[in-house]
Amino acid sequence: MPNPLPHEVVASADPRRADESRSVSEIPTAAPSGDPRLIGMEGEAANARFYRRMRFIRRFEEELLGLFDEGLLRGTTHACIGQEADCVGVIEHLRAGDHIFSNHRCHGHYLAWTGDAIGLLAEIMGKEAGVVRGVGGSQHLCAPGFKSNGVLGGTVPAAAGIALAMKHRRPGTVSAVFIGDGTFGEGVLYETLNIASLWSLPLLVVAENNGYAQSTPISANFAGDMAARFDAFGIEAHRLESTDVLEISAAAAEAIGSVREAGRPRGLIIDTYRLCHHSKSDDNRPEAEIAARWEIEPLVVHGARLDPEERSRIDMEVDTAIAEIVERARRLP
């Protein structure tokens, strides 16, 4: 019999693996588990917690890119630097019994849901302690309530399938799938939106529009209005241009609440910006454009709400915790 996966060792304590017999109202709001320096100290105010979790994701991604530069990692990776507010703001409102489906740019979603930095880093390093024992790598993760793969649009019908199952097994739960603007060029998205609307599935499609499909600007490959793509199937979609985690959180709360109550699909389009290259080194965007976006990135916007001393303390705590995780991962077999 194979050894249990790392997350299965503590599965009985994970609120996301709640007893199927419990009603939705009895299931506690899910929260990531792990080092409080990364996911939030007990009793910490919401603003500080939001900042801490975004800083966690940012520093993880930066360290990951550094490990690639050292030659310690193989293959490629797709960081979400600049899009942390999407991960934290949306996933804050998902709870036990819900499901998340992500894509090639999945690290932030996974960390916001689980807090499992060591499992993710070990996975990308190809080690036994990884989320799926080192065989999934950066893009193909499988954990309770979380699935991702690198096939553009490939998780969208899977998310709808889970939504259909949960509609009958546990009404009031949500299946959320994160896509990028490039996925609007995939026919499977529209096939899924059609079925989701026709069958009234509790599906939330979160489109993170960072303006580029790999290196192609959206102006060169997208005709019409993004929200209209949802409207064509009778699905309400809200669109906002923001890197503010509080604005995104408010929009996500409304959309997720609607899916839970009405049991109908919804779209949430977040116009955001990726500050790093598409994968490890490919970036031909204008330098001035990128520099301007660093002035309004999520940590700058939300960090301004914190007292400078508090922000500095959180930065130090997160940096220390991430450094410890990297060293621990280096030593793993």
CA atoms of 287 and 183, how far apart (whole Å): 26
- What average pLDDT does this structure show over 73-90? 90
Q: pLDDT tens for residues 245-265?
A: 999 999 999 999 999 999 999
Q: Answer for the pair 102, 176: CB distance below 8 angstroms, yes or no.
A: no
What token pair was written down for 137?
């790598």
- What average pLDDT does this structure show over 228-235? 98
How many angstroms from the chain centroid is the CA of residue 222?
24
Compute CA distances 79 → 32, 62, 109, 331, whole Å. 20, 8, 11, 23
CA atoms of 305 and 244, how far apart (whole Å): 11
pLDDT at site 23: 32
What token pair was written down for 271?
């116009």
pLDDT at site 277: 67
CA atoms of 27 and 306, how far apart (whole Å): 32
Dihedral over Cα of 69, 72, 75, 78: its sign: negative
**DSSP-derived secondary structure letter, 96:** T
pLDDT at site 32: 80
- What average pLDDT does this structure show over 49-74? 92
pLDDT at site 70: 87
- All structural domains of the chain: 34-331 (3.40.50.970)
pLDDT at site 30: 54
pLDDT at site 281: 65
CA atoms of 322 and 328, how far apart (whole Å): 10
Q: pLDDT tens for residues 291-313?
A: 999 999 999 999 999 999 999 99
Residue 15 has pLDDT above 60, yes or no: no
> What's the length of the chain?
333
Q: Give the amino acid at 226.
A: M
Q: pLDDT tens for residues 104-150?
A: 999 999 999 999 999 999 999 999 999 999 999 889 999 999 999 99
- Chain-wide mean pLDDT for the chain? 88
The answer, as to whether pTM is greater than 0.85, is yes
Q: Give the amino acid at 144.
A: P
Starting at the edge strand that comes first in sequence, how are the strands of the sheet with 203-209 ordered?
Answer: 142-143, 146-148, 99-102, 175-180, 203-209, 266-271, 236-241
Sort 286 into a burial class: Cβ within 10 Å, 0-12 / 13-18 / 19+.
Answer: exposed
CA atoms of 222 and 174, how far apart (whole Å): 29
Question: Binning pLDDT at 50, 70 and 90, where does residue 16 land?
Answer: very low
